[in-house]
Structure 1
Amino acid sequence: MAAVMEDEVFKVFTTHATVVLVKLLLMGPLTAFYRFSRGAFANEEDVALKPAEERKKMLRTHPDVERVRRCHQNDLETVVPFVLVGLLYTLTGPELSSAQLCFRLFTGARLFHTVSYVVALPQPCRALSWMLGMGVNFFMAYRVLQTVLVL
């Protein structure tokens, strides 16, 4: 394991994977912040300590909460594959410059995607950042298959 941790490509991957995973982890607390600040809760037990008339008003959806939830869902659909495919890509021994470009593009795209989603920047901001991240994932998957494909 120590030898892998000395590999420059693996270090770069680990750095970027950690950044996007921490960003993914922060989406839960961000959702909670929006739920509390907008007074919009999904479950009866979340508002159980409130008076009955207040409970009914708080059990609702709110566009801001739903926006953050959709952003979180999108992270799950792209960050998890990035970590898995990126690890396999790292194990194929790519050139450091190519790997850095892939990892930087993906990380930048996901950070910009989150900002454009939560702040509601006009399209095509969010769509382009999503496509860039997906493109990186598909490129790495292609390179992995190209390297190890055995039929």
Structure 2
Amino acid sequence: MAVIRNEVFSCFVFYAVLLVVKMYTIAIITGQVRLRKKAFANPEDAMRHGGLQFHREDPYVERCRRAHINDMENILPFLFVGAIYSLTGPSLTVARLHFLIFFLCRMLHSFAYLFALRAPTRSLAYTFAQIPCVSMAVQVLMAVAAYA
């Protein structure tokens, strides 16, 4: 079995995979809620599950869908920036802190979204998740600025 020798990159991969699994989980939850609420986005799905009257929107299905979209808007850039950042030679401790903060904040954000927690939980989770992303992006830019 191949071993990733870069400890920071290995740490990044660990959190990246957890985040991707979380995204898939939110997608599955969205699909299950659609089935439970009988609220289908496509007429052919509605027909398969009882008729065109189920080709409709549901507020909770839309909440789940927005949580998934928000994950894509935030986790995908993290995957790119985090991968590059991990190759710039940062301290393992500092890098792990960046990855852990982002991961925990995204978990809290999804939990707050799905369970409609009171403000400002979701917005604080979003904001605090951006801090390590901005920090990593700045460090990547500083690392490559001499070559641009």
Measured against the shorter chain, the TM-score band is over 0.9
CA offset at residue 55 of structure 1? 2.1
1:1-150 matches, within 5 Å, as 5-50=4-49, 55-150=51-146
Amino acid at match of 1:16: Y
Amino acid at match of 2:135: F
Q: CA RMSD in A?
A: 1.4
CA offset at residue 76 of structure 1? 0.4
User: How high is the sequence identity, in percent, across the aligned residues?
Assistant: 37
Amino acid at match of 2:86: T
TM-score normalised by length of structure 1: 0.91
> How far apart, CA to CA, are the structure 1 residues paired with 2:80 and 2:48?
42
Count residues in correspondence: 146
- Structure 1 stretches lacking a partner, 5+ long: none
TM-score normalised by length of structure 2: 0.93
Amino acid at match of 1:90: S
Deviations 1:44-72 (A, max 9, x none): 1102235xxx5233111001000000000
